[in-house]
Amino acid sequence: GILQHPDGTVLKQLQPPPRGPREQEFYNKVYDSDCCDSILLELREYLPKYFGVWSPPTAPNDTYLKLEDVTCKFNKPCIMDVKIGQKSYDPYASAEKIQQQVSKYPLMEEIGFLVLGMRVYHISSDSYETQNQHYGRSLTKETVKDGISKFFHNGYCLRKDAIAASIQKVEKILEWFEGQKQLNFYASSLLFVYEGSCQATTMRLSDVTLAEKRGVPKGLLSGGDILEYNNNIHVINSTENGKIEASVSKGLSKFYALHKKAYSKRHHSQLSLQVENLEQDNMWKSSTCITQEHLNGNVIPQLEKVFCHMPAEIKESANVEVRMIDFAHVFPSNTKDEGYIYGLKNLITVLKNILDN
């Protein structure tokens, strides 16, 4: 598995030959300080940073690749590992190895990718849900869209902002593959990471009011504020590029729970949501007033529209990383990597279908 080094990097133990040395050689080539190949220099953008090899003092014969921890900047990282390509075996694999790999997921050639696992943070329960490779191998052509959408669901709603940002990043990787003919990748993966808590999503709204007769303090939000929400809701006023921040000690989960409780007790409270902005800001413009009668006692879907279904400008700024990993089967080539390109295109199509539907 992957180990954490005290300096904030991660350690991946070198696999037995030829896989381990091949992966080390790949990293050495891409991150060579004398590298002037524009294709490889651009590729660095899509990989974890590489810091050479490391061995523990107590076991100098054990070698580890020292890599950037892509998850370190996240508070509640949601992580998914997706193997890309139509073949998970390399050109030098034996007939036995080919049969073994094909039997693990016969649909690999048709679908072009395989979900190897995921870990998703649910804000509703403040806990993680995990799925292993058996989950991914159970997905069919008909269920793969729902299988991947599970990764972007936080227990309340679909994180469309994270999907949109992920598509954007995968498309950049696809552009790189379309423009290079010197490397082919087999059994390599994309690592998806996004912020599970809502802290990374900031909405700049010129006028937002949230008024609730029970439980919500006066002055929670006022015109011209930035609404930033994580485990707490923050209100930030901007004056002369300075920021005055006041924190409301009510997490989103508690915020939802408050309204659930209020309506379950049939209190005739009213939640007003007004969101407006100037046209020139090219931001979200809407105005909504919600009452219990309008919602038949269910305010959650309307809250989801505010907190989860954000406009494109906000989606693109979501805190998301998509990096290529696992390079034990990378080989020189003089043709485009059509199998990897096929997998990327199919994955983008699935992600777009999730977003559109």
Distant-in-sequence contacts of 225-230, Cβ < 8 A, 24+ apart: 226/202, 227/202, 227/203, 228/199, 228/201, 228/202, 228/203, 229/198, 229/199, 229/201, 229/307, 230/75, 230/197, 230/198, 230/199, 230/200
Q: Please say whether the beta carbons of 201 and 310 come within 8 A.
A: yes
User: For each successive 10 residues of the chain (357 residues), what is the average pLDDT?
Assistant: 93 97 98 98 98 96 97 97 97 95 96 98 96 97 98 95 98 98 98 84 34 37 37 35 34 41 41 35 35 43 48 57 98 98 98 95
Listed by start position, the domains of the chain span 1-69, 70-198+317-356
Element (H, E) at 60: none
- Provide the pLDDT for residue 344: 98
Per-residue pLDDT, 329 = 98
CA contacts within 13 A on the Cβ side of 204 = 9
Superfamily of domain 70-198+317-356: Inositol polyphosphate kinase (3.30.470.160)
pLDDT of residue 240: 36
CB neighbours of 337 closer than 8 A, spacing ≥ 6? 85, 177, 180, 183, 184, 185
Q: What confidence score (pLDDT) does residue 308 get? A: 53
pLDDT digits (tens, 9 = 90+) for 74-95: 999 999 999 999 999 999 999 9
What secondary structure does DSSP assign to 129-154, as a single string?
EEE-HHHHHT--TTTHHHHHHGGGB-
Q: Quote the pLDDT of residue 280.
A: 37
- pTM for the full predicted model: 0.71
Please state, in angstroms and rounded to a whole number, the distance separating the CA atoms of residues 259 and 271: 9
Backbone angles phi, psi at 200, to 5 degrees: -85, -10
The Cα 85–Cα 107 span in angstroms is 11
DSSP 3-state of 273: strand
Tokens of 273: 């949501």
